Amino acid sequence: MRLCHSERSEKSEKSELTTVENDEQLLFVYGSLMDPAERQRLLGRPIEAIPARLDGYVHGRKRYYFVAKQADAVTEGAILEGLSGRDLAILDDYEEVPKLYTRERIEVVATDGRKIECWIYLPTGWERAR
C-alpha cells in the first residue's frame, strides 16, 4: 500500500487525514471501476485498489451505479492509487463528466481506520428520476 503520509486536520477534531503530496491522485470507486479488467481496459495498465468505505452514503444502481447521502449508510468500495491527470481525464470521459457525474473530493475510511481524502464520482441528479 502506497498511501501517503498522515497529517493533522485542523478542522475535523484533529483526526488523522491521509493526503497525497505529489502528482499521483487517489480515487474512491464503488461501481464498474471496482473491476480490475475494466480499469486495465480503460487505462492500459493495472491499477491497485485498496479496500475502503464511504460512511453516510447508500450505494445503488439504476442504469448506472451511484451513491446518495443517507446518514446511517455505508458504501463499500476501493481507493485507486497512482492515478495521473491523464488517467483522471480518461475516467472523466468514461463517467461522462459533467453529464452523468461530477468529480469531487470526499473523505473515505481505509480498512485500518485511516481517513483518506480522495476523488469520487457523484451523480448529477439522474439517480433521483423515476
> What cell was used for 11?
478542522
39-57: pLDDT as tens digits: 999 999 999 999 999 999 9
- 6, 98 contact by CB (below 8 A): no
Bond before 98 cis per omega within 30 degrees: yes
pLDDT at res. 130: 76
Number of residues that this document lists for the chain: 130
Q: Which residues of the chain have pLDDT under 70?
A: 1-23
- 63, 69 contact by CB (below 8 A): no
pLDDT at res. 22: 52
Nearest residue to 77 (alpha-carbon basis) of 119, 43, 42: 119
For residues 48 and 46, what is the distance between their CA atoms, to the nearest angstrom?
7
* Domains of the chain and any CATH numbers: 18-128 (3.10.490.10)
User: What does pTM read for this prediction?
Assistant: 0.83
